[in-house]
Structure 1
């Protein structure tokens, strides 16, 4: 995906009639970043998703977005972290009406969906999308995570793990006679990684970090590398690997090539880095349907200071 400025994204979409714009309200301020850019753009329909488990914080955010978009046709789609089936049904019911008329020109802001909701939505869009349709994906870059905490070692995004589950649309294939291979795309969080490793018996564990060659943020990369090393000291047997955080197709290729050497294993992947790399995992699991994707629902989120956005975006086609 291409890194662009606010001005660039307006230029990219200039003259385009956007049939649908999809975004997700969040306790993160960046959930409205692209909304502000899209003001003045010709758009037929806007879908604002929201995880209603966070009733107060999220509804305030969605109401703010609806106010900004008061001159547009806006639909609200509810999601639940605690109920993936509820979320899946609502995503399908909304998306089935998108791909009716041709051609569709859709802009999807992936920034503030949960990894699980994003992958379900990605799967549904990919299943319905036709050759004549155009889908642009945008991601708002993060300047700083856990910005309400100064010390790097104390920064946190979530605490606790409520549930571990397979992601709808990516069940994979499980052969009880095979050994099990867990692959985790490690990001900011240590506790959830440890919980996943210790909850199941995996004969092989691979820990993947975002590539240091082209990091989105030097400061975030430093923190991620420190926490990655922290996990490796606990699980010295784990294999190590890097993937791109800016190119989902590269992520797909890297993962598929890597697991060819372990085709006698059941493969489970848990994407826990940024949403661009999560899309890459989704691509990989759609191409190799033996791959199972996994999600860890947290107990508590840092709703007061989860992230601070940058004034730049990553834009690419789905």
Structure 2
């Protein structure tokens, strides 16, 4: 399936009807976490795995149970609890859940990447990559958002606030050479506080600030153009006093194109240690995973927020982006 495939949600059962492997998703306070699972609930998946991050949102287990109850195959559906504050524990339970899928002889996986945290999605992709020789197909699905920070003007939109900690993502430690300067690559989205905190904490010798390409072809939704421009400019203003800052553009919708963009940036700066902070769409986070797995010298970091916009994070759209992960594609 091509990345630019964007059918409406109601078309998913017809599109996916000939595949019945494993379905993986992540329960969330966002309504979007129930969109794709609700659309495909009657398909005969051999196994359904619903991740739920236990220490972010108090009602998350109830949300996960709602998703599980919708599927026709409840016997082979499981809820897997993870913990943001314990990434090693999370990586372990993710690995175990995937091993159960492999032990069932399933070689076809769908992932609804929409409401994973950036960190959990990266951990999942790294673990799936370890089983790539046993998988025939891995397909990612992403529900678009009609709007973010519902009802707020562009200059007051927020998805998260504060930043508890900045850490490397399990499975993406990179290979940082002592004595080398640091090049920090930030894919900026709406979450400017996390972006600026990451920049201040890392204090890199070279900062590359990425902006999602503002065009119909590349934005996940045209309505996001103005707020994305606003927050990108805000971050750029905040770091304007720094000596070495270079802008670049990337696609929010095309993971392989964005992965190539990242690898080209890294190649042009061979004398630096490279660290990436993905803070844009989950599709671009997939791109970061692809780039960091292709060049394992790259470290990926995660800025854990203090809180999320639980009540107005997003309004679901009716379109779905669908793309396959081709681990052997040359980047």
Deviates more, 1:263-272 or 1:229-238: 229-238
Give matches, 1:72-111, under 5 Å.
72=74, 73-102=76-105, 104-111=107-114
Instruction: Say if 1:33 and 1:87 are closer, same or farther in 2 by CA, change over 3 A.
Output: same
Residue 233 of structure 2 is aligned to residue 222 of structure 1: no
Say if 2:300 is the partner of 1:293. Answer: yes
**After alignment, is 58-67 or 155-164 more displaced?**
58-67
User: Structure 2 CA distance, aligned partners of 1:101 and 1:196?
Assistant: 41
Change (3 A) 1:198 1:289: same
Corresponding position of 1:40: 42
The corresponding residue for 2:176 is 174
- The TM-score, its normalising length taken from structure 2, stands at 0.92
User: Structure 2: how far apart are the matches of 1:310 and 1:208?
Assistant: 25
Match of 1:135 among 120, 135, 138: 138
Whether the aligned pair in 2 keeps the contact of 1:102 and 1:133 (CA below 8 Å) is: no
Alpha-carbon distance, 1:298 to partner? 0.7
Q: Deviations over 1:274-311 (max 9, x none)?
A: 00000001000001011000001111111111111101
- What is the deviation of 1:97? 1.8
Partners in 1 of 2:148 and 2:16 — Cα distance?
29
Q: Secondary structure at the match of 2:133?
A: coil
- Give the alignment's Cα RMSD to 1 decimal: 1.4
- What does residue 271 of structure 1 align with? 278
Range that drifts further, 261-270 or 172-181? 172-181
- Unaligned 5+ residue runs, structure 2? 326-331
> Distance between the aligned counterparts of 2:53 and 2:133, measured in 1?
28
SS in 2 for 1:263: coil
**Alignment partner of 1:29 out of 21, 27, 31:** 31
For residue 313 of structure 1, the aligned residue among 314, 320, 328 is 320
Q: Could you report, residue by residue, the CA deviation over 1:32-60 in whole angstroms, capped at 9, with x for unpaired residues?
A: 11111112211111101000013533122
- Equivalent in 102, 119, 122 of residue 116 of structure 1: 119
Q: Is 1:58 the counterpart of 2:65 in the alignment?
A: no
Tell me, in whole angstroms, the C-alpha distance in 2 between the residues paired with 1:47 and 1:101: 13
Choose the corresponding residue for 1:249, options 256, 269, 283: 256
Find out whether 1:14 has 2:21 as its counterpart.
no
Partners of 2:155 and 2:230 within 8 A in 1: no
Maintained 8 Å contact 1:102/1:132 = no
**Higher strand fraction (1 or 2):** 1
Paired position in structure 1 for 2:238? 234
Go from structure 1 to structure 2 and tell me whether the alpha carbon gap of 1:95 and 1:60 turns closer, same or farther (over 3 Å shift).
Answer: same
SS in structure 2 of the partner of residue 119 of structure 1: helix
Q: 1:70 to 1:191 in 2, by over 3 A?
A: same
Q: Over residues 170-193 of structure 1, what are the superposed CA-to-partner deviations in whole Å (9 max), with x where a residue is unaligned?
A: 000111221110000000011111
Shift of 1:8: 3.5
Matched-pair contact (CA < 8 Å) for 1:165–1:295 = yes
Provide the rounded CA distance (Å) in 1 between the counterparts of 2:236 and 2:284.
Answer: 21
Give unpaired runs (5+ residues) of structure 1: none
What secondary structure, in the 3-state scheme, does the structure 2 residue paired with 1:173 have? coil
Q: Is the CA contact 1:103–1:133 (under 8 Å) kept in the aligned structure 2?
A: no
Contact 2:174/2:297 (8 A) holds in 1: yes
- 1:251 Cα offset (Å): 0.9
